Structure 1
């Protein structure tokens, strides 16, 4: 027969696991569905148990050393409210985690620079391009300043180099329009060497 008692801080620290059992759950008389699980190894954690659509549902709230008793009771009451609304707390938690990850990924995308995106793009496309076509893409976004392999002097920056430090959200139509006239005044229109079957892409740098 399951017995209940009002959990206190002292009881949480001292309630034992029953002999010859791997775990014992001591149910709280104060908060429905709230209990303390004590394992034979001495681990103590707060849990919540209820029934949803005819099935038993159990959720681990957390380690009793990390959760203050009153806070754990409050969490159990919150979980009970979700169950009363017909919601599975585990599914709600999973949805919240997915939403958080989506926000983090979106925030990370907002911080991606054009140069990073360009480099990742050409590396992904490299297996489908000739070496010359790939080299053209590299050169058009190169920042220059590297000793030439042939001849003397340093390499020049490619036409897309000025955009490398821009965050992708900042790569707007007005910003591109501002960049194009400046490139047109300093050099003639240039295009990458296209190959049969290769799609037109952002590598075209004709602002004329």
Structure 2
């Protein structure tokens, strides 16, 4: 039996759900289809009508938020839609979709960029994910480590931030070209990477229902040709510079930093590969090191040469990392550039980047006529020749023969 009354605040407040029922209705005599539905501890206005021969029920809102007159007006609007042959539920969905589309149309592209990172970062390397975050950062954070002489004390905005602050529809080919003109001369390498990441992001947006109607998927197409050709860096230690470099690096007060820099040169490893080395990755019995590798998912195993072995055994076991740091949140060495730059300056040597130590290993190995495939396998370079890629799998013992020769030659010329 339907309970019908003229709804008033007092009647609504007195309306409750019986203990033996899940809900109870109090129908309004002033507005057909309007009722108050009471459930356990909650009351809401609802509208009930018939559409296409079937009963439909729509929640209007909480009785603590909606007044009676507002609820009656909304019920009349819903009945009006039914009378026009329109399903109020579909009308609501269309309005929500239109509101979402309007929000996407007007808001910056930055939220879409964050959606993209959240959707894709699980398939990226840690470094690739970090590049995406850096490209869109707010900037203005104090530079607490690795600050070069004369460099700003605060971080810049991400290189892509000016574009990501625009709505997606505003990232047009003209806007990207204008941005590229400004960045290509100032920081061409970063601009090249940023353009590539932006193009992939826009292509992803073009495949997403929420963004496809707003994005210009080809905004980056063929713009890479506008960038200057990349120039290869050539910083590298020469044979006659080895003695000065080793003397300065061995004089660094921090033994962990000193051992790390020397090991970088003598292994040819990438900076982060060696910085993340754990004690469990070093086998002093069989004289091997297992390094993470950006090419080989399973990593690579290289020889632990005699001098590097001595360096590692001399280090204190602070935590699980070989090159540990008590101050870094990660527990391992993070920023070697400052100490290295100071050592280079003290030795009177020309500027040399951390990656230049890896380049130096590859170059100096030629003095002992080490086969290029041997050097590449130690360094973790992707094989280029067919024979290297498919047929040659050199055991660590064979690598050790040449790696030891390389180390002995470098140390001999460093007067060690």
Which secondary structure does the structure 2 equivalent of 1:21 belong to? coil
Check whether the contact 1:180–1:207 (CA below 8 A) recurs between aligned residues. no
| Distance across 1 between alignment mates of 2:33 and 2:187 | 74
| Distance across 2 between alignment mates of 1:13 and 1:203 | 68
Count of aligned pairs between the two proteins:
178
Alignment of 1:46-125 (within 5 A): 46-108=45-107, 110-112=108-110
Alignment of 1:89-168 (within 5 A): 89-108=88-107, 110-112=108-110, 164-167=160-163
State the match for 1:10 in structure 2.
10
How far has the Cα of 1:95 moved from its partner?
1.0
| Distance across 1 between alignment mates of 2:103 and 2:22 | 40
Cα 1:206/1:103, change in 2 over 3 Å: same
State the match for 1:34 in structure 2.
34
Give TM-score scaled by structure 1 length: 0.61
Q: Which structure shows the higher helix fraction?
A: 2
| Structure 2: tracts of 5 or more residues without a match | 136-142, 152-156, 165-169, 193-220, 230-416
Q: Which structure shows the higher strand fraction?
A: 1
How far has the Cα of 1:167 moved from its partner?
2.3
Cα 1:202/1:154, change in 2 over 3 Å: farther
Any idea what the Cα deviations from partners look like across 1:88-117, whole Å, max 9, x if unmatched?
111111111111112222333x4449xx79
Check whether the contact 1:8–1:69 (CA below 8 A) recurs between aligned residues. yes
How far has the Cα of 1:13 moved from its partner?
0.7
| Structure 1: tracts of 5 or more residues without a match | 156-160, 193-199
How far has the Cα of 1:162 moved from its partner?
10
Check whether the contact 2:163–2:176 (CA below 8 A) recurs between aligned residues. no
Check whether the contact 1:79–1:89 (CA below 8 A) recurs between aligned residues. yes
How far has the Cα of 1:175 moved from its partner?
7.6
Which secondary structure does the structure 2 equivalent of 1:166 belong to? helix
State the match for 1:204 in structure 2.
225
Which secondary structure does the structure 2 equivalent of 1:82 belong to? helix
| Distance across 1 between alignment mates of 2:61 and 2:160 | 46
| Distance across 1 between alignment mates of 2:174 and 2:70 | 52
Check whether the contact 2:6–2:29 (CA below 8 A) recurs between aligned residues. yes
| Distance across 2 between alignment mates of 1:81 and 1:35 | 17
Which secondary structure does the structure 2 equivalent of 1:65 belong to? coil
Give TM-score scaled by structure 2 length: 0.34
State the match for 2:23 in structure 1.
23
Larger radius of gyration: 2
State the match for 1:195 in structure 2.
none
